[in-house]
Amino acid sequence: MFNKKNLSIPASEDKELELKRENPLEFKLDFDDEKPVKALFFLIAGLGEDNNQSYQDHLAEFLVKEYQVAVIRVSYNNIGLRPQNGATFVMDAKDKEIYLRVGEGLNINFADNFFPPHDLSQQETYQACAILNNAIQERQNRGFYKKGTKIGISISVQPARNEYLNFGVLQAMDILNVLQFIKKNPPFILEKDYKTIMFGSSHGGYLALLAAKFAPWLIDGVLENSAYVKPQMRLFGLGRDVDYIKECEFQAGEFFEHVVLCCVTKTPFSLDTNSKYYFSSDHHHIRDIFNEAHLRTQANYPKPYYISYHSIQDELDSAQNKEQMFELLKELDFKGSLHIIKDESEVDGTFIKSLKHGMGMSLKMLIQKELPTLLALKKRKLSKNTPREILYKGEKLDYLFKEAHGGGQFELELFRHD
């Protein structure tokens, strides 16, 4: 009988930022309680349409009934980092500083006490944007600016549940901790040779690959569409420190006629080398899927099977990066397949709808096409001597990912050195 559960477990500490988590780690579990489960299937939401709950519910029920798998959906750290998922627009001290600087550049002077001392709420942020927009319109009417003038200002995105952005690492750790909890406390019968499969599109696909990087011995297969294997700095919430317009995460120009919101998600990480939250090259490399040194380290462990789809015109990460990574995977004796969608002749309007990032791909059809291959994989047998930890070395920071003694949890340890 089809069954649904909403569960939660304590969230692990953020070891990179040395911060305690305020919220429990929540996840949804869909399964048939009358049949042995063939696979633990992690349906990892990204930032777009696949984060729609009704869409996920439909897909999860289809998977359970059609393939006899248990479907797990994790509300990982910062999953609500877009307005459509509960995030809000706010302005902090840096945003206010940029706002005043923009005004000065436009010869629009604001009083010294224009801003209150606190961070602006979403309502206050909209009010500030409206004031600037109206000032630009007034000057345009008087002939000072060209018609259609648009000005970018910096806006912070406050994720839902008062969370913050720790891109990739904490999110993948959340997924792996849920995996460990379910393995130790399954509310269903697992087949002897059950598989563990990670599935996602775009950011969800990236997290599927990252989870496999952190725990290759735990994951049998990864199926992903349009995952970025070389994530750009702007995705880490640090673009404002480089160029708040060109390196923001996304722009919203539909709210005001003359003001474009250049948005970055709030994160404690900083590019200030004097900050205790300095985001170093080691922090970047651990989030990089296509890191040759790390892939060579991972190759010493049981190897997940990778199936990837990518558009030749993808604007977030080039198809060339994915192709080069698969060449290295082949050299290192990983198994899998890469499908590069190269031209309009492959856009059928049903499975693939465009050549843009994500391709408007039908995830249901992707699953129907590729999941049988992953379910048919021969189960990897882990011996008692198989390491349950993996160390990725950096210039000044080493990352050790490991199963906790006795199972049930997945842990990260950091080792700093000069």
DSSP H helices, 41-155, are: 53-67, 93-105, 122-141
Q: What is the mean pLDDT of the chain?
A: 94
pLDDT band at 48 (very low <50, low <70, confident <90, very high): low
To the nearest 10°, report the CA torsion of 43, 44, 50, 53: 70
Query: Could you tell me if 364 and 59 are in contact, meaning their C-beta atoms sit under 8 angstroms apart?
Result: yes
Q: What is the pLDDT of residue 49?
A: 53
- In the chain, the percentage of residues whose pLDDT exceeds 70 is 99
Mean pLDDT (whole number) for 49-78: 90
pLDDT band at 2 (very low <50, low <70, confident <90, very high): very high
Q: What is the pLDDT of residue 51?
A: 63
β 389-392/250-252 pair status: unpaired
Residue 393 contacts by C-beta under 8 Å, 6 or more apart in sequence?
293, 297
Q: What is the DSSP letter of 345?
A: G
CATH 3.40.50.1820 positions along the chain are: 2-82+165-231+279-386
pLDDT at 224 over 60: yes
Query: Could you tell me if 297 and 392 are in contact, meaning their C-beta atoms sit under 8 angstroms apart?
Result: yes
Q: What is the pLDDT of residue 296?
A: 98
Q: Please check whether the domain covering 2-82+165-231+279-386 is classified as CATH 3.40.50.1820.
A: yes
- The conformational region for residue 168 under phi > 0 = left, psi -120 to 50 = alpha, else beta, is left
Lowest mean pLDDT among 36-50, 256-270, 274-288: 36-50
Kindly report, residue by residue over 138-169, the tens digit of the pLDDT. 999 998 888 888 999 999 999 988 999 999 99
pLDDT at 1 over 90: no
Q: What is the pLDDT of residue 192?
A: 92
